[in-house]
């Protein structure tokens, strides 16, 4: 198949065959067309040439990054009613039973036919596993991080991340023949990622997966398909082995290109030498035709430039970097942190982990003075904090170039290395002259991290720094942090990124910090076992998970719930407005208009400030309801 866009071919004469049992990691540079490829396979888009052939009767489950589901049903109802076959046979049984109640011609052929149809319908339901359907839904929801009380929440009242989990649960529970997943780990915490990984290992159908999580790809896939130069290259290995094989191919291809370039240059010299001579003109023409028929070798590498990334500290902190004694931190009546004490010393490298809602973000906000608390936080001598928030890109000036962004803050010995270190962060050649306003989300994240490491700070606090980064960019950041001479605390759900990066794991649990000296793999193994044992549904005859939970809310609770609902609507509206304005940043007529870009960026910053305020208010109110 081929797909032609206004700017040219995204794919040209692509041919690929995938069979049951294949678990494919779909890789390629940003913009190569990975997400579009899944849309073509799912039938959400059509190729301009050729066809996508799907096996007759095969079912497809497609998780897109663009989740847009709306339903007034509860989470459990949404999933329970999602299987068309089960719905068909349960409706059939209900219809037949109603007919049988009204019939008295027990000896007739038609009555016998109804009984036969009823028996067939029951048999089909048994074949489809109807008896275990509700238990499987519970098991899947628990695995994806839902608690029993979450089963009864209305889909439309969920945040975008929890809607994605509900949609993923709906897809998995229906066990499709073909499973297409586009960045499924984006909104999952580190324990839930482990559960999904284990689930996909045992999936028996076709799996095609896009992910920037290398460990996830290695553990789940058995085949890698790369989109490159409008073609696909197929490798019968998971990601890490594919990278080794591809590097060997690139080395051979580079050598072939070098020889070809040398031959082409020699041929061009001969043509120039003989084309003006009458007795050699025919020979020159034959060389020209030969050159025109030569298929030029193209080498496109996604390898980062090898660099020993060093960010020396200009101001060394005292031995004690941070002393924290938080007596309590509450949202309403809900205590998030309690009797939390620790001392951070110079050179420590800490991974701050914990399930969603345990207080990681609250602790970071407390450290940065962004929220109040009962207790004290003291910085040590000469400590300078560098903070990377999840929305750090908004702090970049859109009218500055990439180079100017770093040039303005680099001091001391770092100044002489600006270009080489920007190159190590994948900004090379003309990239360093690009305005911030035209950078992609991933490029802005990279630039924000580079700026942070160039700053004169000796304590880094990093909140999910790998969001929006591809695998190559994450490797760059990891190398930079390994060589960082200061102290850092990093929050991340990326297991491969964390592996070998930290000295200790600080887990927030029950409002306090529990220190682990194991590696990330050992930590996750113990947490997965603990999570499963604590959250498996109990076997109850009455199946409480599908019953209505009725609680008599007080007037105050109702007021808070209404306010939460109104805030969620406001947040959705603000996010839509911000997305629309960001789209305008990339319009051709706006890209070259600095004044217009500044105006748009100012509007976006104002809306994001309002969004952050409402998100904080929503978080506090939601916590009080808990």
> Any idea what DSSP says for residue 189?
-
How buried is 328 (Cβ within 10 angstroms: 0-12 exposed, 13-18 middle, 19+ buried)?
A: middle
- CATH code, domain with 227: 3.40.50.300
Residues 260 and 349 in one domain: no
Residue labelled with tokens 């079912």 = 59
In a domain, 393, yes or no: yes
Residues 455 and 352 in one domain: yes
Give the bridge partners for 512, in sequence order: 509
**Residue whose C-alpha is closest to residue 181's, from 157, 200, 162, 155:** 200
In a domain, 145, yes or no: no
**Residue whose C-alpha is closest to residue 211's, from 67, 1, 345, 63:** 63
**Residue whose C-alpha is closest to residue 188's, from 217, 139, 145:** 145
Give the per-residue pLDDT at 543: 39
Q: What confidence tens digit (pLDDT) does each residue in 24-82 have?
A: 999 987 778 888 999 999 988 889 999 999 988 889 999 988 777 888 999 999 998 88
Give the per-residue pLDDT at 180: 96
Give the per-residue pLDDT at 419: 84
DSSP 194-219: HHHHHHHHT--SEEEEE-S-HHHHHH
Measured over the CA atoms of residue 577, residue 579, residue 583 and residue 586, the dihedral's sign is positive
> For residues 613 and 617, what is the distance between their CA atoms, to the nearest angstrom?
6
SS3 string, 403-452, reads HHHHHCCCCHHHHHHHHHHHHHCCCCHHHHHCEHHHCCHHHHHHHHHHHH
Q: What is the bridge-based pairing of β-strands 487-491 and 349-353?
A: parallel
Q: Which long-range contacts (CB under 8 A, 24 or more apart) does 339-345 make?
A: 339/511, 339/512, 340/375, 340/511, 340/512, 340/513, 341/513, 342/506, 342/513, 344/320, 344/459, 344/487, 344/489, 345/319, 345/320, 345/321, 345/487
> For residues 391 and 160, what is the distance between their CA atoms, to the nearest angstrom?
16
For residue 404, what are the CA distances in angstroms to 2, 27, 86, 526, 549?
41, 32, 61, 47, 58
In a domain, 135, yes or no: no
In a domain, 314, yes or no: no
Q: Which residues contact 321 (CB under 8 A, 6 or more apart)?
A: 344, 345, 346, 348, 379, 380, 383, 458, 459, 487
Give the per-residue pLDDT at 309: 59
- CATH code, domain with 609: 1.10.287
Q: For the chain, what is the domain count?
A: 5
Residues 481 and 414 in one domain: yes
In 10 A of CB 438, how many CB atoms? 14
Q: Can you list the residues of the chain whose pLDDT is less than 50?
A: 304-307, 537-553, 588
Residue labelled with tokens 């297991």 = 495
Residues 419 and 524 in one domain: yes
> Any idea what DSSP says for residue 554?
-
Residues 371 and 505 in one domain: yes
Give the per-residue pLDDT at 471: 81
In a domain, 560, yes or no: yes
> For residues 426 and 406, what is the distance between their CA atoms, to the nearest angstrom?
14
Domain residue limits at 494: 320-535
Give the per-residue pLDDT at 496: 87
**Residue whose C-alpha is closest to residue 455's, from 394, 408, 512, 509:** 408
Residues 344 and 444 in one domain: yes
Measured over the CA atoms of residue 469, residue 472, residue 474 and residue 479, the dihedral's sign is negative
Residues 276 and 396 in one domain: no
Element containing residue 39 per DSSP (H, E): helix 34-42
In 10 A of CB 480, how many CB atoms? 20
Residues 444 and 328 in one domain: yes
Residue labelled with tokens 């949609």 = 167
In a domain, 152, yes or no: no
Give the per-residue pLDDT at 505: 92
Q: Which residues contact 533 (CB under 8 A, 6 or more apart)?
A: none
Measured over the CA atoms of residue 51, residue 54, residue 57 and residue 63, the dihedral's sign is negative
SS3 string, 84-121, reads HHHHHHHHHHHHHHHHHHHCCCCCCHHHHHHHHHHHHH
Residues 71 and 89 in one domain: no
Residues 223 and 371 in one domain: no
> For residues 379 and 322, what is the distance between their CA atoms, to the nearest angstrom?
5
Give the per-residue pLDDT at 375: 92
In 10 A of CB 337, how many CB atoms? 24
In a domain, 148, yes or no: no
Residues 562 and 436 in one domain: no
In a domain, 302, yes or no: no
| Phi, psi (rounded to 5 degrees) for 507 | -100, 125
Residues 211 and 289 in one domain: no
> For residues 252 and 345, what is the distance between their CA atoms, to the nearest angstrom?
48
């Amino acid at each position: 198949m081929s797909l032609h866009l206004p700017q040219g071919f995204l794919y040209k004469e692509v041919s690929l065959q995938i069979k049951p049992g294949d678990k494919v990691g779909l890789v390629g540079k940003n913009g190569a067309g990975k997400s579009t490829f899944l849309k073509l396979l799912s039938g959400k888009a059509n190729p301009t040439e050729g066809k996508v052939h799907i096996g007759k009767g095969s079912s497809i489950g497609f998780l897109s990054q663009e989740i847009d589901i709306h339903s007034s049903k509860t989470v459990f109802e949404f999933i329970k009613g999602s299987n068309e076959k089960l719905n068909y046979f349960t409706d059939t049984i209900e219809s037949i039973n109603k007919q049988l109640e009204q019939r008295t011609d027990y000896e007739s052929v038609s009555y016998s036919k109804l009984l036969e149809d009823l028996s067939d319908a029951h048999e089909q339901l048994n074949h489809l596993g109807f008896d275990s359907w509700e238990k499987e839904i519970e098991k899947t929801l628990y695995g994806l991080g839902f608690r029993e009380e979450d089963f009864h929440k209305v889909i439309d009242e969920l945040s975008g991340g929890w809607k994605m989990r509900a949609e993923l649960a709906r897809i998995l529970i229906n066990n499709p023949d073909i499973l297409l997943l586009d960045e499924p780990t984006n909104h999952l915490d580190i324990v839930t990622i482990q559960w999904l990984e284990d689930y996909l290992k045992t999936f028996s159908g076709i799996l095609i997966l896009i992910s920037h999580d290398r460990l996830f790809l290695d553990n789940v896939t058995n085949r890698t398909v790369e989109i490159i130069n409008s073609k696909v290259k197929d490798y019968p290995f998971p990601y890490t082995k594919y990278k080794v094989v591809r590097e060997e191919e690139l080395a051979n291809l580079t050598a072939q290109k070098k020889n070809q370039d040398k031959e082409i240059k020699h041929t061009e010299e001969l043509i120039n030498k003989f084309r003006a001579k009458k007795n050699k003109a025919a020979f020159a023409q034959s060389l020209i035709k030969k050159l025109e028929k030569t298929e030029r070798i193209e080498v496109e590498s996604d390898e980062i430039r090898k660099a020993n990334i060093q960010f020396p500290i200009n101001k060394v902190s005292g031995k004690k970097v941070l002393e924290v004694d938080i007596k309590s931190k509450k949202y309403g009546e809900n205590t998030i942190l309690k009797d939390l004490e620790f001392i951070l010393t110079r050179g420590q490298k800490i991974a701050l982990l914990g399930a969603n809602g345990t207080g990681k973000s609250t602790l970071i906000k407390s450290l940065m003075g962004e929220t109040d608390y009962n207790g004290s936080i003291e910085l040590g001598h000469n400590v300078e904090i560098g903070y990377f928030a999840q929305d750090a890109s908004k702090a970049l000036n859109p009218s500055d170039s990439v180079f100017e962004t770093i040039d303005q803050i680099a001091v001391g010995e770092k100044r002489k290395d600006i270009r080489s270190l920007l190159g190590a962060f994948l900004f090379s050649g003309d990239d360093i002259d690009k305005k911030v306003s035209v950078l992609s989300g991933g490029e802005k994240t990279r630039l924000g991290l580079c700026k942070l490491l160039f700053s004169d700070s000796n304590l880094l606090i990093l909140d999910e720094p790998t969001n929006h980064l591809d695998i190559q960019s994450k490797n760059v950041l990891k190398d930079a942090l390994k060589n960082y001479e200061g102290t850092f605390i990093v929050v991340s759900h990326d297991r491969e990124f964390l592996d070998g990066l930290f000295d200790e794991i600080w887990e927030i649990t029950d409002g306090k910090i529990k220190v682990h000296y194991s590696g990330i793999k050992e930590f996750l193994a113990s947490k997965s076992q603990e999570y499963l044992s604590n959250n498996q549904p109990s076997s109850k005859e009455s199946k409480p998970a599908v019953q209505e939970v009725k609680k008599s809310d007080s007037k105050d609770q109702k007021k808070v719930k209404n306010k939460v609902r109104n805030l969620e609507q406001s947040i959705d509206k603000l996010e839509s407005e911000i997305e629309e304005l960001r789209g305008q940043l990339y319009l051709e007529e706006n890209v070259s208009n600095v004044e217009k870009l500044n105006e748009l960026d100012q509007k976006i910053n104002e809306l994001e400030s309002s969004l952050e305020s409402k998100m904080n208010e929503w978080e506090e109110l939601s916590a009080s309801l808990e």
